[in-house]
Chain A
Amino acid sequence: MLAEMRAEYRLALPLKLAEMERLWQRVEAGEAPAVPFAELNRVAHTIAGSAGTFGLTTVSVAAKALEVALTPLRGDEGPMPAKDVDNIGSLLEALKQSANMS
């Protein structure tokens, strides 16, 4: 059962990552960023929990790292510092790579 559901989960993962990418683009665009920012954080949190349960440990760890980086930021305090933008962007990229390799 776990193998079957893991395969199903893995199939659905690219859609979630694409959603995260869209949310991040909205944050970067700076257009009312608080809402997509919070949603991005929620999706990262969700993947961190579910991916590990389905055996995709590296995806889970990468998502957790992204969640940890996002949590102290709120997304509504004006333009995000460049170092935070770079950091979040890198972590999102790492998450996508880990999903591709899983």
Chain B
Amino acid sequence: MDPKERIPVYPLDVYVATDKGEAELKGGSTSLKPKELELLVLADGRANVAEITARAKSLSGEEVTALLRLMIQNGLLKTAPIANGDSLDFTYFFGAGKPAPELSVQDRERAGKEAEAGTPALLRYGYYVSIARRAAQPREQAKNSRISVLIIEDELPLAKFLGQLLGMEGFEPRIAKNREEIVAELRRLPSPDLVLLDVVLPDADGFDVLVRMKQHPHLKAVPVIMLTGKSNRESVMRGLLGGADGYITKPFEIDILIKGIKSVLGLV
């Protein structure tokens, strides 16, 4: 296989010119072809690959991807650095990473009250919490398109069950069972309309996934419902403080889950 083929380029990745690329752009002469120069200009450290493809006048999507790989390989482009506390680079997604962003006093108080509100239910039913923040605005949906729900769940029978259940309810289910599949799904366009997120995964921590999503400029707007067996107050607080829109503990009741999803999406 051509080594250039191995460089992954995803629609939400963002690139910027290296010093060598800048020199090619700003120098008196260049050895680059017009298409390469066009990509160097478009890769401004803000636009992602999908946006570059839409803006590129003389290149198809496949050509953009192939040429980006070539230009990265040749040292003309690099992954955009972290700026303003946000990173567009998915390579940080499961790395040592940054701490979670500071939350306001109001956010903390709100999460605390919600977690406390779940506590009586926790005591009554042994371990059971169901919290869903109602969306302020109903979600806008393109005609004839289905709302997609990414199910992050490593227990395959449960993931399949959730997929079938959501399919019957008119949603388009997508499933990710491990770290690799999570990253691939979150990089894929269109982004999911909602994520159901398990916490205990074989090679990833759902709370970490949550924080990374909420730090990401594109993904932070995607509502997340934690669907987990982690039912103590500390875990519920951690999820809500991390930016989760809902927290439902396993075992869960089907009606409660569907109601929570619809509530978070502003559909009820």
Contacts and interface: CB of A to CB of B under 8 A. Distances in A.
Nearest to A41: B200
Interface string B234-265: 00000000000000011110100000000000
A51 B157 CA distance: 10
Given A1-B168, A45-B200, A50 B158 contact: yes
Give the most central of B154, B157, B164, B228: most A CB within 10 Å: B157
Given A45-B229, A64-B127, A53 B161 contact: yes
Contacts of A9: 157
Interface string B152-182: 0011011011001100100000000000000
- Interface size on A, as a range, is 20 to 34
- Interface size on B, as a range, is 20 to 34
B229 A46 contact: yes
B215 to A, nearest CB: 26
A12 B156 CA distance: 11
B75 to A, nearest CB: 41
A10 B7 CA distance: 43
Contact of A49 (B126, B160, B165, B228): B228
A57 B250 CA distance: 11
A57 B253 CA distance: 12
B81 interface: no
B250 A49 contact: yes
B61 interface: no
Nearest to B160: A5
Given A45-B229, A48-B229, A49-B228, A8 B157 contact: yes
A49 B168 contact: no
A26 interface: no
B138 interface: no
Nearest to A55: B251
B202 interface: yes
Contact of A53 (B158, B168, B202): B158
B249 to A, nearest CB: 8
Given A5-B160, A53-B161, A54-B161, A46 B251 contact: no
Given A2-B254, A49-B251, 17 more contacts: A8-B157, A9-B157, A12-B157, A45-B200, A49-B228, A49-B229, A50-B155, A50-B158, A50-B250, A52-B250, A52-B251, A53-B158, A53-B161, A54-B157, A54-B158, A57-B251, A64-B229
Interface of B: 126-127, 154-155, 157-158, 160-161, 164-165, 168, 200, 202, 228-229, 249-252, 254
